[in-house]
């Protein structure tokens, strides 16, 4: 349970309607309704596809949004701009102090958004119940291997047992569904694809493989080295053929059953089968920047106007303008593609 001695961040302002109604529409017929909020750029793992062994220069404390500022901006999105889902991510969101209080403050907004968390699962065993009690609806836990040595090699930390305990605690706390995100790396964990599917079925969690994207801080991504969605299918052939279950709508994962084996799997083919045309996402970084795409090369600052006293109408107008200029696609396969300066851990995956 959330401790009564800890204060819920005040943040949210009185809910007055905007003088000019706004929505997060872009010029390509899409409307953003799904907000991804990075709560911190820090992390207690060092996944090789995400950050270097020594970590990164973390955001200075005074550049980070305070809890109140964060709740105020999320409130602008939910009350005025049509945001229906708020996903908390990072960096590692469980490292953010007051996470449970942040969740309960979001749960008080009207209309009440769906609240989701993407986490590496370390420390979740102790907190899943309090997070669910605070209003968390759904959780995605990242786990690329169930082999302890491979986990150590891939994340540079010996924490597999903590993550597995976190997965079980999430289920026990009633978070449903529990989704597992896995990135396959050639020669490291790609031989484990079928084992991961078997494990997920046994644990009662939904596994989704994500194609590795050019978002690592080291800029080491290599298109030829990436395990493609097609290759994932080949590695799962021992369980059965991939049979599509339904259209994915705006969801990035395509869902499949594996023949009559009883196994199911999702594949997020962000590179080889991009879903930009149906994208409904917008991102808020831990330092208060709106990004209209993971791969955007520009961002729009809401922190400075917020700190200068901008009201909800002004913040909503800035936010709507940021989304209006969203490009039609990420262009990873375009020869002119340039990786964004911010790595995934700082944007919020």
Report d(CA 339, CA 325) in Å as an integer: 18
Answer yes or no whether residue 181 interacts with ligand SAM by CB under 6 A.
Answer: yes
Taking a C-beta distance cutoff of 8 angstroms, is the pair 24, 281 a contact? no
Q: Smallest gap, in angstroms, from Cβ of residue 177 to ligand SF4?
A: 20
Report d(CA 218, CA 53) in Å as an integer: 10
Closer by beta carbon to ligand SF4, 161 or else 278 = 161
Q: Pick from 183, 205, 207, 242: which binds ligand SAM (CB under 6 A)?
A: 183
Q: Pick from 33, 118, 289, 292: which binds ligand SAM (CB under 6 A)?
A: 118
Contacts of ligand SAM in 139-168 (CB under 6 A): 142
Q: Smallest gap, in angstroms, from Cβ of residue 150 to ligand SAM?
A: 14
Burial class (CB in 10 A: 0-12, 13-18, 19+), 144: buried
Answer yes or no whether residue 34 interacts with ligand SAM by CB under 6 A.
Answer: no
| 177 cis-preceded (ω within 30 degrees of 0) | yes
Residues 6+ apart with CB under 8 A from 289: 299, 300, 301, 302, 303
Report d(CA 19, CA 123) in Å as an integer: 44
Report d(CA 163, CA 178) in Å as an integer: 13
Q: Smallest gap, in angstroms, from Cβ of residue 300 to ligand SAM?
A: 21
Binding region for ligand SAM (CB under 6 A) out of 116-124, 130-138, 242-250, 285-293: 116-124
Contacts of ligand SAM in 309-348 (CB under 6 A): 344-345
Q: Smallest gap, in angstroms, from Cβ of residue 318 to ligand SAM?
A: 25
The DSSP call for residue 299 is: -
Q: Is 48 helix (H, G, I), strand (E, B) or coil?
A: coil
Q: Which does 46 bind (CB under 5 to 8 A by kind): ligand SAM, ligand SF4, none?
A: ligand SF4
Contacts of ligand SAM in 198-217 (CB under 6 A): 210, 212-213, 215-216
Report d(CA 284, CA 292) in Å as an integer: 9
Q: Smallest gap, in angstroms, from Cβ of residue 260 to ligand SAM?
A: 29
Report d(CA 90, CA 73) in Å as an integer: 17
Q: Contact residues for ligand SAM (CB under 6 A)?
A: 43, 49-50, 89-90, 92, 118-120, 142, 181, 183, 210, 212-213, 215-216, 344-345, 349
């Amino acid at each position: 349970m959330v401790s009564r001695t800890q204060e819920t961040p005040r943040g949210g302002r009185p809910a007055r309607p905007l003088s000019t109604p706004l929505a997060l529409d872009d010029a390509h017929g899409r409307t953003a309704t799904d907000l991804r909020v990075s709560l911190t750029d820090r992390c207690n793992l060092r996944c090789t596809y995400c950050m270097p062994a020594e970590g990164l220069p973390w955001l200075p404390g005074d550049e980070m949004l305070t809890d109140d500022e964060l709740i105020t901006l999320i409130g602008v999105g939910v009350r005025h701009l049509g945001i229906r889902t708020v996903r908390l991510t990072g960096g590692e969101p469980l490292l953010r102090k007051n996470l449970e209080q942040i969740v309960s403050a979001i749960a008080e907004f009207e209309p009440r958004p769906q609240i989701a968390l993407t986490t590496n699962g370390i420390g979740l065993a102790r907190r899943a119940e309090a997070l669910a009690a605070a209003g968390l609806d759904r959780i995605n836990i990242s786990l690329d291997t169930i082999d302890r040595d491979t986990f150590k090699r891939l994340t540079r930390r010996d924490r597999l047992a903590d993550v597995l305990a976190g997965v079980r605690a999430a289920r026990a706390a009633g978070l449903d569904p529990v989704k597992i995100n896995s990135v396959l790396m050639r020669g490291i964990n790609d031989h484990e694809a079928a084992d991961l599917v078997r494990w997920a079925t046994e644990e009662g969690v939904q596994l989704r493989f994500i194609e590795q994207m050019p978002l690592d801080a080291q800029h080491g991504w290599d298109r030829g080295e990436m395990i493609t969605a097609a290759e994932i299918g080949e590695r799962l052939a021992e369980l059965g053929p991939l049979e599509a279950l339904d259209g994915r709508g705006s969801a990035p994962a395509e869902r499949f059953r594996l023949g009559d084996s009883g196994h199911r799997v999702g594949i997020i083919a962000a590179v080889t089968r991009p879903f930009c045309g149906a994208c409904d996402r917008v991102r808020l970084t831990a330092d208060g920047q709106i990004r209209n795409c993971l791969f955007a090369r520009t961002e729009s600052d809401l922190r400075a106007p917020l700190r200068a006293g901008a009201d909800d109408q002004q913040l909503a107008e800035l936010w709507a303008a940021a989304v209006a200029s969203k490009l039609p696609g990420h262009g990873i396969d375009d020869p002119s593609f340039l990786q964004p300066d911010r790595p995934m851990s700082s944007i919020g995956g």
